[in-house]
Amino acid sequence: MKKVMVTGANGFVGSALIKELVNQEIEVVALCRNGSGRNLPKSSLVEIFPFSLDRAGGMVSQLKECGCDTFYHFAWAGSAGAERADTQLQLKNAQWTVDCLRLAKECGCSRFVNAGSIMELETMRAVFQAGNRPGPGYIYGSGKLAAHTMCKSVAAQIGIDLVWAMITNAYGVGEKSPRMVNTTVQKCIRGESPQFTAGTQNYDFVYIDDVARAFYLIGENGKPFHEYLIGSSHAKPLKEFLLEMKAAIAPDLDFIFGDIPFTGVNQPLEDFDCTKTKDDTGFEAKISFGEGCRRTRDWWLTMEV
């Protein structure tokens, strides 16, 4: 890779990847909503363009002369909170992903790397398990799954290499969404005892710096029309992760398990296997969950000031 285009460039994962790309001396065309690049490194290697998902098809004339070889797609509306259950929005996201795939081809990119989710695998298990009644979060997973299947067919038709990276659960410095690591860290800072399910379901977390490095290596070394899981390679029951967080940032606080019902499906550990990612790209996570939680806690403390 010599020059790449990145949607969702100002977001949590997109901005982290761009910092990694700049460290690798790779040029970046950053596509940011409203042209805001506040989270991006100040570098001559980064050029910012205003971008909107619903107008991706109209950006060809502005971007086709940029000379990019790889397109990273992170922009996705409603990835957290109540909008995950918005069927219309999640269906639009799937179509917008296909639109960005076509944009990449028309701009001369030979490779399209997309940010998928392990929720795709969980959604298939939840939806096709007889008698199960999937919760609203699987609407988001269905949108990712629809985007995945459509992009694979369209990429084959138009002649562009598709590489699909599925993130387990990214967390860390820079994320402000109401996801579990953030809400738990904030409760620990306030001295509140967090409550959870029994925590017996298998889970994985991967720190944002590792995620960024994984996307760089997947873009560089990933095989066309292959899927790559981005995780810690140490998946285990959720309770074990949460006790690791407790030991790292709140050893004197009670973590209460079992008060909240678990309504999802328990994915088998093989769903979290990152062996293929390591073998094909060379990626291995380096930052432990405890260390990642300490970094996240310390960052939130600076935000409180």
CATH number at residue 193: 3.90.25.10
**Maximum Cα–Cα distance for the chain, whole Å?**
58
C-alpha pair distances (Å), 48 with each of 1, 21, 28, 37, 222: 19, 15, 8, 7, 26
CA 55 to CA 95: how far, in whole Å?
Answer: 12
What's the whole-number average pLDDT of the chain?
96
Calculate mean pLDDT across residues 152-159: 98
Would 11 be classed as within a structural domain? yes
Percent of residues, the chain, with pLDDT higher than 90: 90
Would 209 be classed as within a structural domain? no
Calculate mean pLDDT across residues 159-166: 98
Residues 134 and 263 in one domain: no
Would 226 be classed as within a structural domain? no
Residues 113 and 197 in one domain: no
Please report the pLDDT score of residue 184 as a whole number: 97
* CATH number of the CATH domain containing 119: 3.40.50.720
By three-state DSSP, how is residue 171 classified?
Answer: strand
Of these ranges, 29-38, 78-87, 92-101, the one predicted with the greatest mean pLDDT is: 92-101
Residues 160 and 192 in one domain: no
Res 305 pLDDT > 70: no
Entry pTM:
0.96
Please report the pLDDT score of residue 304 as a whole number: 64
Would 210 be classed as within a structural domain? no
CA 80 to CA 83: how far, in whole Å?
Answer: 7
Q: What digits encode the pLDDT tens for the residues 31-66?
A: 998 878 889 999 999 999 999 999 998 999 999 999
Higher pLDDT among residues 264 and 94, named by residue = 94
Residues 70 and 112 in one domain: yes
Here the tokens at position 85 are 């259950």
Q: How many structural domains does the chain have?
A: 2
Residues 85 and 193 in one domain: no
Calculate mean pLDDT across residues 139-150: 97
Other Cβ atoms closer than 10 A to 78:
18
Would 219 be classed as within a structural domain? no
Residues 107 and 192 in one domain: no
Calculate mean pLDDT across residues 82-90: 96
Question: For residue 187, what are the domain limits?
Answer: 176-203+233-305
